[in-house]
Each structure stands twice: as structure tokens, then as C-alpha cells.
Structure 1
Amino acid sequence: SSAAVSVSDLDLAYQLQLAEAIQASLRLDALASNPSSSKGKAPVAASSSSSSLSQPAPAPPEPSDASYALAIHAADLARAEEDHRYAEACRAYYARAAASACVAAHDAIFARELAAVPEDQWAHDGDNIERPLDSTKPLFRVMFKGMASKEVVGSRDWDPRVAVLAVALCDSQGKVVLRIQKPVEGFVGGRMMLEAMALTEGLQAALGLGIQSIRILNDYKALHNHMRGIWRPKQAKLAEMIDQVLSVAKKFKQCEISLVERGKLDYVMKLARDSILSQIAKAVAVNASKEKRETCAICLEDTDVSKIHVVEGCAHHFCFCCMKEHVKVKLLHGTLPACPQDGCTTKLTMEGSKIFLSPRLLDIMVQRIREGQIPATQKIYCPYPKCSALMSLSEMKHPLQESSSKYTIADAATLRKCVKCRGSFCISWTGCLVTTTRVGTPKLVQMMRSYRTLHGSSCGANVSNAST
């Protein structure tokens, strides 16, 4: 009895430990799913009853719409912060580039001043000559050019109607700090609009670099008059663009505009011309690829012109796949193929069909053409199953008399040789029926002996078999 009691005590202790482990696991799951609600609460004591083992674990709460909205908001906020950091990095990079350009301009001016110092002054005061970095920003030059394709292509050439914007920012010494070549997609307008767009692009780039003092070099007098307020644009779109240019120009501490000769802007002109030629080449390539495709009238698929067959005689166009299937069906039905166009009776030629037919179909087509050329009363097929070559009566060969000691006059009239397999056979001609018999076949020889006389099916002429 004592042993039984000890066993029951051990079982009870095991059950209690198992229940405590399950409860602890449930508490951890609850804390993980809802940590805020579990703060400040005392742990629940494990029940000593074994009925707790049968209680199912509570299901985790399903995420609500609010939790989804918060997650989406957090993701958007993270993306916005990343964009902000990227913008700050770009501004810092542009600021460093502008500062570097200012230092380079200052050093260039100082180097020229040092080169102009006389030798005697350099010997006494060379170590004391200095030029502090001026806090005022140097004057940068903005050169721009808007160019359309019609200014480059000839009068007889195809105009793809593309446009480009070219901008060059130079420091006070003429060194190019930044250059821009930008295509304009779907541009509709004149030179004034293009020039204003190019100038806006250059001013915005200068602002991005932190440049505060600029001098605009312009070779288009009409735009110069609009910028000075001498002229007023009549078109609403152009007026809006001029207002945008003036608005951006006001953001600089110093902004000068100068009307210069066309030769002063050779660098930016070359940028624009190179860019427009590149855009024209791309447009021509795209247009050529479109022109090199044609729609098949059978399958209605756009196919490369190199895969389009032009039927000789009628010039109807079809793709290779459709032509091959059409010719294949006609040949297998025993007819000579014609043009697939409805109502067209132009026959296909073997030379023109070589490009899309397989060698097997070409052989069949050659045979069909020969069948069409030989009259029905002149057609002879080789009686040997492995050959079956088509011949005309005039093409068949007469075997030489020396080839057989039993060669008779009857053989001269009926014995022929196949032009392809060189097999010998006999023919009988009645004017309406030509029969062929392979020489040396015992069964056929016996049949010819038993039926000595045949009658033509339409002419009624008697045909007597020569004795073998």
C-alpha cells in the first residue's frame, strides 16, 4: 500500500509540474501578443487540479484595421525619412561642390597675381604675399541652348521632331563646373519656348549647387527683350514660362543677363548639337524598326519584312509560316499551289518558294509542276514502288540491243528504262491507255500469257501482249 501511495504522489507531482510549464508558456505568449496589458499584473498561480490540462490555449487576437493602418503609416514615415536623408545628402554634396568651385576660382586668380609679381618684389616679400578667401561668392556664368531637330535635319530628310536642352555652368575663369544635356519628350513649340526651358534648367541647376551670383550669357535677342521686360509675350504658355524664369532668377543674390554673339556659346552649341544628333539617330532607328514590320493578311501578325514572302506576278504579301502551311496542304492534296489571296490565280514558282519550303516539300512541288507540264496521255510512272518517278513517253530511254541476246523487234517497241532508277519495264500504247509491266516478274508474265488480248477502255483497240 505504501508503494502505491508513493507512486500516486509521484504522478501528482509530475502533473503539477506539467501544468505549471503549460501556464508559463501561455503567459509568455500573452505577453508577446499584448505586452501593454500585461504590465503591472501579478502572475496567476498554477492550479493543482488536473482539469487545467484539458483547457485549450487561447487563440492570439487577429490584427485589426487600426493595426494595419498604423503599420502602413509607419512604412510611409520610414520612406519619407529616407527621402529626407537622401535630399540632405544631395544638398550637402552640392554645397561641397560649390565650395570647391569657389576655392578653385580663388586659387586661379591668386596664381595669376603671383605670376605677375616682379622678381625683386618676390625676393623681398614673396613669403608675405597672401590673398584671403573672399566671403563674397564668385560670379558664375550660365550658358544655355535649346535646339530642335528641324534646325539640324535637311529640308528633304525626315524630321523626327525631337528637341534637347543643353546647359553649361562655368566659374569665373571659364572652367566648366556642370554640364547638362536633356532631351525634351513630345515637345511642341518654337525656339523661344525651348530657349526659356533651357535657361530655367540652368538656373535651377545653379541654385542646386548653392551658387548665389550668376551671369547669364544669351545669344537670342527676343528672349533677352522678354527678360528685360521690353517685350510682352502674347501666348499664355510662353508668358507662363517667362514668369517662371524670372521667378527663379530672383532667388539669386546677384543675377546679370548679357546679350552676346553666337560664337561666344560654341561650347554649349556643340553640346546641343551632339545631343540632338544622338536623339535623331535613336528616333530614326525606332522608325526604321517600325517600317521593317508588316502585317500578314492571313494570320494578322506583325512580322519582320525579312520573313515576308512576296508572290511573284501578283505581289501579294504573306509571312513564311502561312505560305509554308498553304503550300504544304495544296501539295499533299496533289495540286499545284497558287497565291493564297482570295480570287488570285497566280501560280507559285519553285524558285520563289525555296526560301520558306523544306527540301521534302520542294521535291513534291517539283513533281507537281512536272505533272502539270506533261499531258495526261504522255505521263508514265515508274512501276517500281521504291522509285515511282514521273516521265513522259519522249523521255524514257530505249535499252541498247547489245545488252541482251534475246532482244527482239517487239522489245524495241515496248521495252523502256526508267530515267531515275534505270529499271527496265514494258509499255503498251493504244492511244488512250498506257500500261507498264515490270520485266522478269513471274506472276505478271503468267497473267499476260493467260490474257492475250486487252481492249482500250475508250477507243476499243485490241492490245496483244508480246510473248515473253
Structure 2
Amino acid sequence: MDNDLELAIKNTDDLKRVDQESKDPLLAQDETKLDLDSNHTYRLNSKGLVSKELIKDDMMLVVGLGWSLCDSHDNTKLETNKALRKKKLAHPEPAELAAIIHGLNQAWKLGVKNIQFFCDDSKILAYVTRKATPNESIVAELLEKVFLLQTEFTSCQALAAVNRDDINSVIKLAKDAIASQTRWCEGDTEYESCPVCYDYVSPNDKFEVSGCFHRICVTCMREPFSSEQILRGNTAICPYPDCENDLVPEDCRDFADANASTIMIQRKKEKAIPVKYRVYCPNPSCSFLMSDLDLVRNNPRQSEERKCTECGLTFCKKCHVPWHYKKTCDEFKKSESYLKSDAALLESYVKTEGCKKCPQCQHIVQHGGGCVQMTCRCKHEFCYTCGAACKNKKLTCDCSRSGK
């Protein structure tokens, strides 16, 4: 083994343990007891990430490395991570290669003879399979160390990553390593920096966002979930700068505005059902959202009769009222029962207030003045005057755009 593997392997002065209570297998070989078969082919997943973090009052580039070793039956043998503060590694490609180097080196020291390592970055895969040559000297230097490590194994093969769960797990390990660098103690009190408001908070007052794994203080996490923003139609996304990861309302119930969470969960459900198949129960105390595709499968007669899967009410999909037995929709709309129904009152209100229903989803919209070209919340565009659908964001009817 080349003693010159000080870069990202031997130079432990720049390494920070993520969990101070645990032993790093690389640094404490004698205490690591792993049941490994020298004839078995193991799989290595790794990830190197770079992040600009506020550590006390200084902005620093931190490299987070995460890797996991498992057998061909997906039994995880080892998961570990490290953080580095080496400026020449603080770029995406060097960070990725440093993670591979650490993972291969650790597998070799644990006695693994046959290994496959996976890359989710196509450029890195091209480098390690010698299909491309890097231009940057630091990348070339690290690549040579990967090639050198490969010779230490009986077999060592680089492959494209295909299992997203495996990649997400090592991404989280790398993110955890980065997060560990923003933590410090003052006396007996532990603090972390919030990358959004730059305030110092207790680690217990931070929330880790699913998917992107950013750790944000609870105060900043409440902002995207305010009822005001949600009612304006804004999507709740991670507040970390330049992150566009959608927040999961169910995960944020402990600190989010309760009303906003309910709205977000409803919109998430609506989004999963195509507009033309959305059906709401007409029972005012229920209003449960269903997919008409599911309801039709349970209704072999193919009529407008539907049954709410939540409260059990049988109703008419077309009239949006409890089912009118032995009457057609036209007959029912002329009856006294319909004239007294909530649906009739709503129709009357719509006409009186000069509102219209979206031709696609039947949601009530009101013209606030200006151009008659309307866009419903379901994204359907139509003429407010006659209801004709727009095409390529232009009116298809002869109505005046001003509505006069």
C-alpha cells in the first residue's frame, strides 16, 4: 500500500467524527469485528458533498463523505461518514473521489477481497472506468489513488448506481457529516448554526428535511407553512438557500400551522388525481376527495351514481347532491327537492354574484377585472365570457378580451 495516500486517507488531523460516542472503524481497527467472507463480492456505495456552512461567525466550505458496505443480499455490514475541511477537496468531483477512496481503503483494511463500487455521477464513472480523462490536476491526482487502491483487491469493479435508496442513504450520511461541523459547545450548552437565519440554536431545535437532509431551525421551518402563503397558492419548499425540495406536510405537523398543513395535505392528494377524475363528497361535513376511476370500478351500471368511500353517502356525481332515485338529472333539477338543496343554492349564488365555474374542474372562479382569459387553480385556461378553452395560452373564441 502506497504511504502517499495522505490525501483523504491518512491525514486524520482534518477529520471530524460525526458521533463522538462511537468508534470509527478506520481509526480503531482492533475493535472492529465484522463477519466478512473473503470470497464474497461486497458492494460499496459512496457520496461526497460540498457545502458552504456557517461555523460560529465564519463561513467555511465543508466536505461531507458517506459510504456503506453491504453484501449481495443487501445486508449492510458497515455505514460511516466523515467531514473534511480541505480546500482543494471542496469541489464536487474531488469530493466524490475522496468518498470512493475512503470507502475502498476502509473495505481493504477490513479484509474485503472482492468489491464493486457504485457511482451515481456519470462523469465520475467515466473517470474511474478510464473512459474519460479529467482536466483538473487534483481530480487526476485523486483518480490515480483510486486506481492504486483497486490493485489491492482480487477484483474491483466500478458500476453505475441504480438503487436510489442506497444512494439516498449515503447522501444522508454525507449530509450528517456536514451538519456535524456546525455544532460546538459553549460551557455545557451545545449549539448549531441555522443556514437560513444564521442564528445559534440547540440541535434539538432543528428539523432535518426529508429528501435534501438540510437541517433548519424550527422557527425558519414554520415560515413556508404559514396559512397566508399556502392560501396564496405558494408551494411549501425547503427554506435552505436555492433548495427546491418539496416539504412533506405530514412530517412537519409538530411545528407547522395546522390549517396550512391540512390545506397542503389536501392539495398533495388533489395533485395525485387528474383533474377530470376528482370527485368530492357533497356531504358538507365530509367533502372527501376521491378518484372517479376508483368509484366507477365499484359501479358496474356506469351511471352518475357514486358512493362516498369515507362517509358512505350515495350521491349523484353530476348534480352533486344525494342520489335521486328513479329520477334523471334533468327531472331532479326541476323538483322541489333540488330547489331546496345546497347545490341549487350554490348555483343561485354563482349566478347572482356573476361568478363562473371552471369548465374542467367545476371550481368557482370570479373575474376581478381586466382580460377575460382566466386560469383556474387546476391550471385550465378558458374564456370567462363563454367558457371556451384557450389554446397555446390564447383565446379560441370571438369574445372581446376586455369582456366588453
TM-score, normalised to structure 1's length?
A: 0.31
Bigger radius of gyration among the two = 1
- More strand by proportion, 1 or 2? 2
Larger RCO: 1 or 2 (CA < 8 Å, sep 6+): 2
- More helix by proportion, 1 or 2? 1
